Amino acid sequence: MRLVLVGPPGAGKGTQATLLAASLGVPHISTGVLLRDEARAGTPLGEQVAEVMATGGLVPTPVTLGLVEQRIAEPDAAEGFILDGFPRSTEQAEALDALLAPHGQELTAVVLLDLPDEEVVRRIGGRRVCAADAAHSFHLDTAPPADPGVCDHCGGELFQREDDRPETVLRRQQVYRAETVPLISYYEAAGLLRRVAATGPVAEVAQRIRAVLPTG
């Protein structure tokens, strides 16, 4: 299964992609995580990436596309993947189609996680992530760690992402509306779009997603 999760910042794409990856047995590929790894590596490219991410803007498509191309070519993605945060613009969607086509591959479905703006702010404001493993994510109200500031899974230190500060979140929401929302009609026209309400507990959202995915 080749899935894309689309939705505003903080909609729960990473949370749901982790669950789906475990149940479907395909890798969760997050461009946010790949880019943060690149930034942490401190290479010249990483420094450029960090600068853009700190403003809430989009990293240039050749960079994200290159990372995705490399990752989906790995053996564990041969039978499918869950893309989280990519594509994020019509330009990226067209580039992804062009990447898959020569291999006779196409997307199975695109799940849009719908979340009202006020809930976006609440979710992002309370998010804390693990410094040792970005896949370990918590929320101060809805999914708090047992020990404040410490990751339940590995004991790593929890911190607030730099781009989760209010002024950057506002910019990310603007970029989402301008660049990513047009993707909805792109995938609707292709017959791939599945809309899911992202409100309510994590398990309920997961159940809604499963209900809209093709079976078999």
40 among known catalytic residues: no
104/107 with CB nearer ligand AP5 = 107
Active-site entry in 2, 36, 71, 88 = 88
Cβ–Cβ < 8 Å for 28, 5: no
Instruction: From 30-38, 103-111, 145-153, 207-215, give the range in contact with ligand AP5 by CB under 6 A.
Output: 30-38
Marked catalytic residue, from 2, 36, 123, 172: 172
Largest CA distance in the chain: 49
Task: Decide: 100 and 183 in contact? Cβ < 8 Å.
Answer: no
15 lines the binding site for ligand AP5 (CB under 6 A) = yes
Classify residue 143 by its DSSP letter.
Answer: B
Closest distance of CB 210 from ligand AP5, Å: 14
Q: In what order do the strands lie in the sheet with 137-139?
A: 137-139, 127-130, 158-159
Which of 152, 202, 210, 213 binds ligand AP5 (CB under 6 A)? It is: 202
Cβ density class 26-58: b for 16+ within 10 Å, e for less = bbbbbbbbbbbebbeeeeeebeebbebbeebbb
Helix 202-212 to helix 13-24 angle (10° resolution) is 60
Active site residue 128: no
Give, as ranges, the residues between 93 and 122 that touch ligand AP5 (CB under 6 A).
none
- Examine the residue annotation and report whether 13 is marked as an active-site residue of this protein: yes
Positions marked catalytic: 13, 88, 127, 161, 172
Site residues for ligand AP5 per CB under 6 A: 7, 9-15, 31-32, 35, 52-53, 56-59, 64, 85-86, 88, 92, 123-124, 126-127, 137-139, 142-143, 163, 172, 201-202, 205
